[in-house]
């Protein structure tokens, strides 16, 4: 593992690393914010952040303004990349498929299956690397935005013993019924819609037997709200299964990081309650 950069922030450190991923069969990059408690030798819990289409580890770390609160609470933040990358990695000539658009699933279809195993990377390889390398505990939470909100919700719903809590901003809540999800799932998973449902937060929440606290924020001025995000499907699933979901709608807010920065402190404090931070 190679450190690319480091920047001191609120008496902690933001660091960027490059490493070889055996799961994805390529070089990958991630960022970690280590709060001052970790710098002083204390093991701290971790919030994993999954970003949206076209993003990398840099968007959240540079735009969300999360470090101040993370330093106060004693929480490390790990920001993963959104897909495998590199010259030998399959790509598409569009922003919502291929590199930058991994959708946090394990692809089964060619040419994607050689590298696009983001589900295994987030669930297994990256946490194992983080916990073996940095002063962190095995207490984890997960959050994300848009495509990353889809990833955070589905991964938490499929692995409830792994995370103490989950949250999302503007998640793709019902991908089997929206253009982004239908395109990505057809490419990565094939045409079997039953397989798609295994990576759809609304479908998973309907039948969830183990429940962890969930918080979702959605801007009402989001230009993707009606066609792509469909939070009403997630709300209906939570009501049907009595899932502990708090879904909040915010007038005037859009899909941007201005929205995330406005409410990230509330999300971090929400997770801190369950992480014991």
> Which residues are catalytically annotated?
146, 222, 255
Q: Quick check: 186 and 105 in contact, CB under 8 A?
A: no
Task: Say which residues have a Cβ less than 8 Å from residue 6's Cβ, sequence separation at least 6.
Answer: 13, 14, 15, 16
Cβ contacts of residue 25 below 8 Å, gap of 6+?
84, 114, 115
Q: Which of 259, 266, 257 is nearest to 221 (CA)?
A: 259
Q: What is the DSSP letter of 5?
A: E
Cα–Cα distance for residue pair 77/54, rounded to 1 Å: 20
From the list 208, 230, 229, 219, the residue with the least C-alpha distance to 257 is 219
Measuring CA to CA, how many Å separate 57 from each of 29, 154, 239?
A: 7, 20, 34
Contacts of 28 (CB under 8 A, 6+ apart): 18, 19, 20, 21, 81, 84, 85, 121
Long-range CB pairs of 89-97, under 8 A, 24+ apart, other chains included: 89/26, 89/115, 90/114, 90/115, 90/116, 92/187, 95/53, 95/54, 96/53, 96/180, 96/183, 96/184, 97/183, 97/184, 97/187
Q: Which of 272, 243, 77 is nearest to 160 (CA)?
A: 243
- DSSP code at position 206: H
């Amino acid at each position: 593992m190679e450190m690319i950069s480091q920047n001191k922030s609120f008496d902690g450190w933001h660091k960027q690393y490059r490493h070889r991923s055996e799961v994805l069969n390529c070089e990958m990059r991630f960022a970690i914010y280590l709060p001052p408690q970790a710098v002083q030798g204390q093991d701290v819990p971790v919030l994993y952040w999954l970003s949206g289409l076209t993003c990398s580890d840099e968007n959240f770390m540079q735009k969300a303004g999360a470090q101040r609160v993370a330093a106060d609470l004693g929480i490390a933040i790990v920001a993963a990349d959104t897909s495998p990358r590199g010259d030998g990695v399959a790509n598409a000539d569009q922003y919502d498929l291929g590199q930058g658009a991994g959708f946090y699933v394990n692809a089964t279809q060619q040419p994607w299956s050689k590298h696009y195993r983001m589900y295994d990377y987030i669930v297994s390889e990256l946490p194992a690397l983080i916990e073996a390398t940095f002063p962190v505990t095995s207490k984890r939470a997960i959050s994300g935005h848009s495509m990353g909100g889809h990833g955070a919700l589905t991964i938490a719903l499929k692995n409830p013993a792994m995370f103490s809590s989950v949250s999302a901003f503007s998640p793709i809540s019902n991908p089997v019924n929206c253009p982004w999800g239908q395109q990505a799932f057809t490419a990565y998973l094939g045409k079997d819609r039953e397989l798609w449902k295994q990576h759809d937060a609304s479908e998973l929440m309907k039948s969830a037997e183990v429940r962890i606290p969930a918080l979702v924020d959605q801007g009402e001025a989001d230009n993707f709200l009606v066609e792509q995000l469909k939070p009403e499907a997630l709300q209906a699933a939570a009501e049907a299964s009595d899932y502990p979901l708090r879904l909040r709608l915010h007038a005037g807010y859009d899909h941007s990081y201005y929205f995330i920065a406005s409410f990230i402190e509330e999300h971090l404090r929400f997770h801190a309650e369950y992480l014991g931070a």
